[in-house]
């Protein structure tokens, strides 16, 4: 059973991810979509931190750190593609 | 008392993350969206990590929380800078209420892009 504040926090994070997904679908240009994907990665890290605080399992924090690393590398790679891939 | 502080920090961090989502959806421009997403989500993650460290005062969990926070504070700024630079170099449209545009002329952008 989740703690009450953890349930509230997870609901807010899910709502934020939904709003960001709307921008990911509607985004008029490619940098908007890259920003949305970056924010969704940060929100996944936030969800993992809340779940780790609720359950006390340390493995969630390791997963959060790895997802933060991969998200950063992916964002930088997208930015390099945006700069170089333009004709 | 500890539970109250941790719960308040968790709700505050989630509220800041929700503000980041609202900002990304509602802001009119690539650059304003970028700064809304970056700042609000960094502070929200910091609040959530503080709540985690207060709720579980264990050495391993606190050290992991500090390392995640420091890493995200470094990489979020770097990735926001890189995205904003790519958007500026590829000629992203600005908001109609922008008062000053200090971007260089974006013809022949191969020289600036390699620096």
With a cut of 90, say whether residue B104 has pLDDT above it: no
Closest-CA distance of chain B to residue A48, Å? 10
Give the three-class secondary structure for B106: coil
8 A C-beta contact, residue A53 and residue A6: yes
Residue A44: predicted pLDDT: 94
Residue A39: predicted pLDDT: 93
Contact of A7 with chain B, judged by CB distance below 8 Å, is answered with no
Segment A32-85, tens digit of pLDDT: 999 999 999 999 999 999 999 888 888 999 999 999 999 999 999 988 888 887
ipTM over 0.85: yes
Chain A neighbors of B86, CB-CB under 8 A: 31, 79-80, 82-83
Interface of B with A in 17-76 (CB under 8 A): 17-18, 20-22, 24-25, 30, 33-34, 37, 41-42, 44-45, 48-49, 51-52, 55-56, 60-61, 64-65, 67-68, 71-72, 75-76
- Identify which of A9, A61, A86 has the shortest CB distance to residue B64: A61
**A46 Cβ neighbours under 8 A, 6+ residues apart:** A13, B13, B14, B17, B41, B44, B45, B48
* Number of alpha carbons in the 13 Å side-chain half-sphere of residue B33: 32
This prediction's pTM? 0.87
Are the Cβ atoms of B61 and A58 closer than 8 angstroms? yes
Residue B106: predicted pLDDT: 54
Interface probe with A: pick from B38, B51, B73, B83, most Cβ of A within 10 Å: B83
Residue B111: predicted pLDDT: 47
Segment B53-97, tens digit of pLDDT: 999 888 999 999 999 999 999 999 999 999 988 888 887 778 887
């Amino acid at each position: 059973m989740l703690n009450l504040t953890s349930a509230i926090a997870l609901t807010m994070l899910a709502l934020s991810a939904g709003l960001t997904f709307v921008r990911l679908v509607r985004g008029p240009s490619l940098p908007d979509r890259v920003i949305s994907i970056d924010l969704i990665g940060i929100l996944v890290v936030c969800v993992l931190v809340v779940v780790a605080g609720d359950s006390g399992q340390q493995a969630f924090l390791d997963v959060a750190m790895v997802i933060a690393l991969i998200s950063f590398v992916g964002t930088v790679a997208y930015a390099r593609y945006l700069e170089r891939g333009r004709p | 008392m500890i539970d109250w502080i941790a719960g308040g920090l968790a709700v505050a961090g989630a509220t800041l993350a929700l503000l980041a989502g609202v900002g990304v959806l509602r802001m009119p421009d690539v650059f304003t969206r970028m700064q809304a997403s970056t700042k609000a989500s960094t502070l929200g993650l910091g609040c959530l990590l503080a709540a985690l460290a207060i709720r579980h005062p264990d050495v391993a969990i606190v050290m992991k929380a500090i390392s995640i926070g420091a890493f995200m504070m470094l990489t979020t700024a770097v990735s926001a800078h890189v995205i904003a630079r790519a958007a500026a170099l590829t000629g992203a449209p600005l908001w109609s209420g922008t008062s000053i545009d200090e971007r260089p002329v974006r013809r022949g952008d191969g020289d600036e892009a390699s620096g």
